[in-house]
Amino acid sequence: MNDDHFHLRHGWRVPPPYPHSGDEVQYLLRAEHQLLQSISGRAPIADVLQHICEALDSQLGNMFSVISLPTDDPAAVIAIAKSATLFRLYKFVSASVVGDGDQPLASLEMYCTLDRRPHLSEVQLIERATCLAAVAIQRHNQSVHPLVRELPSSGQTSHP
């Protein structure tokens, strides 16, 4: 693991509101509400992840974020990193998006126009974004691969 990678301390727990002006907190909550509606409405996973990145970039400013799924083309992920370097963006954060039981679901890469480390309030926003991404990915995976469960009395299987 490189030194730009950090493990999110809280996993699924959503961090408490952070000390900013009421306008910033209100905007973040509006963005979360819209994202949760997209997730529950089963919007395409690529769109939901893109909107999570856009909300995060908008809130932090001077950022470019991308969430990559394990099924994404590795060459595309490498091309994004090379493009970031070409445009003189610095790696800001590299974080895992994990689900139940610390199952890896995706990765979040963030690039910044300044070479700096995240502040505590930014880490909280990143944790919140990775939590939303985990919920979206798990919901998507459940709809694509529904769990097969056994009926207690007959031994037959059914799909929920």
Q: What is the pLDDT of residue 24?
A: 53
Overall domain count for the chain: 1
Q: For residues 30 and 21, which has the higher predicted lDDT (pLDDT)?
A: 30
Please report whether residue 9 resides in a domain: no
List of residues 6+ apart from 32 with CB closer than 8 A? 55, 128, 132
**pLDDT tens track for 24-76:** 544 455 588 889 889 988 899 999 999 999 999 999 999 999 999 999 999 99
112: left (phi over 0), alpha (psi -120 to 50) or beta: beta
What stretch of H or E contains 33?
A: helix 22-40
CATH number at residue 101: 3.30.450.40
Is 5 part of any domain? no
Give a yes or no: residue 10 inside a domain: no
The yes-or-no verdict on residue 155 having pLDDT over 70 is no
DSSP 66: E
- Asked whether residue 104 is domain-assigned, the answer is yes
Unique residue bearing structure tokens 């059914």? 158
pLDDT of residue 17: 46
Asked if 141 contacts 71 with a C-beta cutoff of 8 angstroms, the reply is no
Q: How many CA atoms lie within 13 A of 7 on its CB side?
A: 5
Q: Is the pLDDT of residue 144 over 90?
A: no
Task: Please report, for the chain, how many H helices and E strands are present, in that order.
Answer: 4, 5
Name the residue with higher pLDDT: 5 or 113. Answer: 113
78 vs 158, more confident? 78
